[in-house]
Each structure stands twice: as C-alpha cells, then as structure tokens.
C-alpha cells in the first residue's frame, strides 16, 4: 500500500499490533480528530480497523462531517486481521500478547465465577461481590472509564517497549 493508512482501532489494540507508518485515529475520538484531515495533503487514504466494521463507521463519520471530499477514501476490508493473514508485516509496542480489554474480560469472568461458587459453598452474602463487579461494568460502560483496565495497564507485562502514542 502506498496510500496513507488511518487505523481507527483503540490505542490498546494499536499498541499490540500496528502497520508501520499508519496514523492512529481511534473511532471513539474520531470526531475530535477530524480537523487533522485538512492538514494532510490530498491523497488516497485507507481506513483500517480489526475487521472492517469500525472502518465503515469511521467513513460514515468522515462523510457526515463534510470531510469526505478532502481525500479519496477506501476501507481495507478484513482489517488488520486480513493484513496479517496475507503475510504483511506488523509492528508492536506492547510487551503483552493479550490486549488489556481481553485481560479485563478474563479477570471479571474469573471473579464472577469465584464469587458465585463461593456464595453457594460458603455464604450467600458473597453474591454481593458479583453485584459489585456488575456495578463496575455498568459504570465503565456509562462513563467510558474502566478502572480495572487502568490498573491492568500499569502491570509489568503491559508496559510498552517503545514510547507511547500521544
């Protein structure tokens, strides 16, 4: 690919694996970052995500905000998964092989299983732990802030080998 690649995955995903020379513009922040498109010389831009779904959403946002005529855009169908499957090179800044969000899902799943099991075996009041975890997930979904993810990011296996993305 000779065109500019805009990666609309989230930062944790990008750090784990990215295409050298690509620009990170997470879908969750895309509307705020759209003015950057005016600063880029007119060229072909490929929008990429994990599989292609978020890239399509990104293109809809770009067009809806009037930036669709600035460049020639295309979606890389199949996303970075296809890029890797085709044998193309990727880079990584992460020491971790599992994304932070997957680690959150694993930890939450284990905690829920332990809490439910302990409530049956020892004390029914332990089920309140499951309610607390559910409340944390609800808060994370409503606020966009996941405290567990922030804690997991700071663990030694999740520290980056290279400098962080700003």
Q: Which of 49, 146, 163, 164 is catalytic?
A: 49
Taking alpha carbons only, the member of 58, 60, 52 closest to residue 78 is: 52
Structure tokens belonging to residue 46: 């490929």
pLDDT at 79: 92
| Residue 42 confidence (pLDDT) above 70 | yes
Which residue has better confidence, 19 or 100? 19
Which pTM was predicted? 0.61
How far, in Å, CA of 15 to CA of 165, rounded? 8
How far, in Å, CA of 135 to CA of 49, rounded? 30
How far, in Å, CA of 118 to CA of 37, rounded? 53
pLDDT tier for residue 2 given thresholds of 50, 70 and 90: low
Active site residue 49: yes
């Amino acid at each position: 690919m000779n065109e500019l690649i805009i990666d609309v995955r989230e930062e944790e995903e990008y750090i784990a694996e990215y295409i050298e020379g690509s620009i990170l513009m997470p879908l969750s922040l895309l509307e705020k970052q759209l003015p950057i498109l005016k600063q880029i010389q007119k060229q072909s831009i490929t929008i990429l995500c994990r599989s292609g779904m978020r890239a399509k959403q990104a293109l809809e946002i770009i067009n809806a905000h009037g930036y669709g005529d600035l460049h020639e855009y295309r979606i890389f169908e199949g996303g970075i998964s296809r890029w890797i499957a085709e044998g193309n090179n990727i880079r990584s800044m992460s020491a971790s092989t599992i994304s932070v969000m997957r680690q959150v899902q694993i930890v939450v799943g284990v905690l829920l299983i332990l809490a439910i099991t302990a409530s049956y075996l020892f004390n029914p009041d332990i089920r309140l732990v499951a309610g607390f975890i559910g409340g944390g997930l609800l808060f994370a979904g409503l606020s966009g802030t996941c405290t567990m993810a922030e804690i997991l990011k700071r663990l030694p296996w999740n520290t980056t080998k290279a400098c962080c993305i700003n």
